[in-house]
């Protein structure tokens, strides 16, 4: 017996669905509003029939939250003819099915049965969340959890997916996850790196060629499109796809037919398309460097990968992961991260995102040598400097600015306070290593000691040479 929730403000519909679903042997809950529906869904349900026009808001706005509830339910939208939120948008949002009212009992029961069958099969294989974790996507920050939910839903559909995000955010990882969680998981995942397609060989790389079709074509060769048959074709850096190729490629995407170079006949390939880019494709279409019809074809589902600075809560777990990965790679005993180092890492903006963090942790493992704790001094200096530049509290940024006129302190006193804040932060970033502080600040070692003394900061004992 499965648990089914009906969220609809129309009492007649609620009652009819209740009878139909209960007769099918399922436990049925009814809710007349989004708020009530959400509290029922929190109890864990398998399928939700969701009306879009509800008294306390549009149903489509609640799809994400309903999908994220305990039971990770499938959603079947059941909506009146007048609603302008269309089937395409709904399905692109990862909804299981879209039914128009008035719906026959057969339509409703068929849709419910297929959703439940899918759940049974997929839970038999694995818990979707566990499968997602197995795809190697680390992080539990709210923005990451939302992304994971979107990946899960994208994987359940067959629609084209366009993954957007800055460099190094994990777009390729997400594309892999969409494939590994889809019904095509046992078939090939073929990557086309569009930034690396040489104009002369591009057609042969994508569509293959026949022996003798050009100099150097010594044998028949299958292209990436043919190799993706049954699986997923991943167009990485799709914004770099040469304009000259965009038109012919659009046709291939639409018809799933292509002609190998030198062949008289066309071949077909049943592939699911996933593309990724860090470029602004909308803007590119405005500038005429990307075809709008191709963009339209690529982005049935859009997945936005948030930058690392918007999921600070993930930095620690990712840093630990890359630290342990690098320790294994370099066959050194496991290391731990110092508290100060975590502060520096979480305060940095990570323009290169997760890839930059992975590289930094690898460099820190090398830099820390035999030490079993990694300190800020093992980080590249630009990261430590950014920590120094960053005010701890607004007040320290410029104490004078926030000072009411009546409280203006004598300049020398103000300067002492500012210096003290700087040197405290410097020593924290350098884990109290004066030579390191000297290197980072550009001051001599004796000068550092002098400043520490003047600022009343306890001085670390001088190292013997
Ligand atoms: N959430 C994550 N958990 C674990 N590893 C991650 C995560 N996100 C990214 N990575 C790792 O970071 C590196 C960069 O990720 P990926 O290549 O997927 O980024 P990208 O957005 O495709 O980059 P680019 O735009 O430069 O092609 C990879 O080694 C990937 O495994």
- Rounded to whole angstroms, the maximal C-alpha distance in the chain is 89
Can you say whether the dihedral through the CA atoms of 403, 407, 413, 417 is positive or negative?
negative
Kindly give the distance from the C-alpha atom of residue 362 to the centroid of ligand 1, in angstroms, as a whole number: 15
d(CA 54, CA 52): 6
Kindly give the distance from the C-alpha atom of residue 137 to the centroid of ligand 1, in angstroms, as a whole number: 9
Q: How high is the pLDDT of residue 465? A: 40
The alpha helices in 157-309, defined as continuous H runs, are 171-180, 202-207, 224-227, 243-255, 281-286, 292-298
Question: What burial class does residue 436 get, using C-beta atoms within 10 Å of its C-beta: 0-12 exposed, 13-18 middle, 19+ buried?
Answer: buried
User: Residue 139 CA: which ligand 1 atom is closest?
Assistant: 1
- Which of 371, 390, 409 finishes a domain? 390
Residues 158 and 259 in one domain: yes
Residue 46's CATH number: 3.40.50.2300
Residues 315 and 233 in one domain: no
Residues 62 and 78 in one domain: yes
Name beta bridge partners: 272. 232
SS (H, E, C) 56-98: CEEHHHHHHHHHCCCCCCEEEEEECCCCCCCHHHHHHCCCCEE
Residues 370 and 398 in one domain: no
Residue nearest to atom 12 of ligand 1 (CA): 355
Residues 64 and 91 in one domain: yes
Dihedral class, residue 152 (left if φ above 0, else alpha if ψ from -120 to 50, else beta): alpha
User: Residue 236 CA: which ligand 1 atom is closest?
Assistant: 27
User: Residue 305 CA: which ligand 1 atom is closest?
Assistant: 21
Parallel, antiparallel or unpaired: strands 97-100 and 161-164: unpaired
Residues 417 and 273 in one domain: no
Question: Residue 440 sits in which domain range?
Answer: 394-465
Which of 318, 355, 357, 361 to mutate for ligand 1's pocket (most ligand atoms within 8 Å of CB)?
A: 355
Residue nearest to atom 13 of ligand 1 (CA): 355
Residues 192 and 324 in one domain: no
Residues 241 and 362 in one domain: no
The tens-digit pLDDT sequence of the chain (465 residues) is 789 999 999 999 999 999 999 998 899 999 999 999 999 999 889 999 999 888 998 888 888 888 888 788 899 988 875 555 666 666 666 678 888 888 888 889 989 998 888 877 766 555 666 666 667 889 988 888 888 888 988 988 889 999 999 999 999 999 999 999 898 988 999 999 988 877 777 888 899 999 888 888 888 989 999 999 999 999 999 999 888 889 888 999 889 999 999 999 999 999 999 999 999 999 999 999 999 999 999 999 999 999 999 999 999 999 999 999 999 999 999 999 999 899 999 999 999 999 999 999 999 999 999 999 999 989 998 888 887 766 555 444 455 555 555 556 777 777 777 888 888 888 888 878 888 888 888 888 888 888 888 888 887 765 444
Residue nearest to atom 9 of ligand 1 (CA): 170
Identify whether the C-beta of residue 341 lies closer than 8 Å to the C-beta of residue 316.
no
User: Residue 357 CA: which ligand 1 atom is closest?
Assistant: 12
Give the three-class secondary structure for 396. Answer: helix
d(CA 233, CA 198): 19
- Which of 125, 153, 171 finishes a domain? 125
Residues 236 and 293 in one domain: yes
- Which of 370, 390, 410 finishes a domain? 390
Kindly give the distance from the C-alpha atom of residue 196 to the centroid of ligand 1, in angstroms, as a whole number: 19
Question: Using a 6 Å CB cutoff, which residues line ligand 1?
Answer: 136-139, 165, 167-173, 276, 278, 354-355, 358
Kindly give the distance from the C-alpha atom of residue 115 to the centroid of ligand 1, in angstroms, as a whole number: 32
Tally: H helices and E strands in the chain: 21, 18
Q: Which of 431, 418, 425 is nearest to 460 (CA)?
A: 431
Q: How high is the pLDDT of residue 444? A: 86
Residues 377 and 329 in one domain: yes
Neighbouring C-beta atoms of residue 35, cutoff 10 Å:
15
Residues 104 and 233 in one domain: no
Residues 114 and 249 in one domain: no
Give the total number of structural domains in the chain: 4
Q: How high is the pLDDT of residue 373? A: 93
């Amino acid at each position: 017996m499965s648990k089914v929730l009906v969220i609809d403000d129309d009492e007649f519909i609620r009652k009819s669905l209740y009878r139909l679903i209960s007769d099918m042997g399922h436990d049925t809950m009814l809710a007349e509003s989004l708020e009530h529906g959400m509290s029922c869904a929190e109890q864990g349900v398998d399928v939700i029939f969701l009306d879009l026009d509800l008294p306390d808001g549009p149903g489509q706005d609640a799809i994400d939250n309903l999908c994220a509830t305990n039971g990770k339910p499938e959603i079947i939208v059941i909506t009146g003819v007048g609603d302008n939120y269309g089937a395409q948008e709904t399905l692109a949002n990862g909804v299981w099915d879209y039914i128009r009212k008035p719906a026959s009992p057969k339509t409703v029961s068929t849709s419910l049965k297929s959703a439940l069958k899918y759940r049974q099969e997929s839970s038999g294989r694995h818990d979707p969340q566990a499968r997602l974790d197995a795809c190697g996507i680390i992080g539990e920050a709210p923005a990451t959890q939302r992304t994971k939910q979107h990946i899960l839903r994208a994987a359940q559909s067959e629609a084209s997916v366009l993954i957007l995000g800055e460099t190094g955010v994990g777009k390729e990882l997400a594309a892999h996850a969409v494939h590994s969680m889809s019904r095509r998981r046992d078939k090939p995942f073929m990557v086309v790196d569009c930034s690396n397609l040489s104009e002369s060989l591009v057609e042969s790389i994508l569509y293959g060629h026949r022996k003798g079709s050009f100099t150097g074509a010594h044998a028949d060769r299958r292209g990436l499109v043919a190799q993706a048959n049954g699986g997923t074709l991943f167009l990485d850096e799709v914004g770099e796809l040469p304009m000259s190729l965009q038109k012919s490629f659009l046709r291939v995407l639409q018809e799933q037919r292509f002609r190998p170079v030198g062949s008289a006949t066309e071949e077909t390939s049943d592939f699911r398309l996933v593309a990724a880019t860090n470029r602004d494709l909308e803007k590119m279409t405005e500038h005429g460097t990307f075809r709008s019809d191709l963009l339209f074809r690529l982005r049935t589902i859009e997945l936005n990968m948030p930058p690392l600075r918007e999921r600070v809560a993930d930095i620690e777990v990712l840093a630990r992961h890359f630290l342990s990965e690098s320790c294994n790679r370099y066959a050194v005993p496991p290391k731990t991260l110092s508290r100060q180092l975590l502060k520096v890492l979480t305060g940095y903006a990570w323009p290169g995102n997760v890839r930059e963090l992975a590289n930094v942790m690898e460099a820190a493992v090398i830099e820390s040598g035999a030490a079993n704790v990694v300190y800020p001094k093992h980080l590249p200096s630009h990261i430590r400097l950014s920590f120094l530049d960053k005010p701890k509290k607004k007040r320290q940024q410029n104490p004078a600015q926030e000072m009411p006129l009546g409280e203006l302190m004598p300049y020398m006193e103000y300067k002492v306070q500012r210096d003290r804040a700087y040197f405290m932060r410097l020593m924290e970033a350098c884990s109290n290593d004066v030579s390191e502080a000297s290197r980072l600040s550009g001051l001599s070692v004796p000068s550092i000691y002098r400043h520490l003394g003047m600022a009343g900061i306890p001085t670390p004992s001088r190292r013997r040479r």
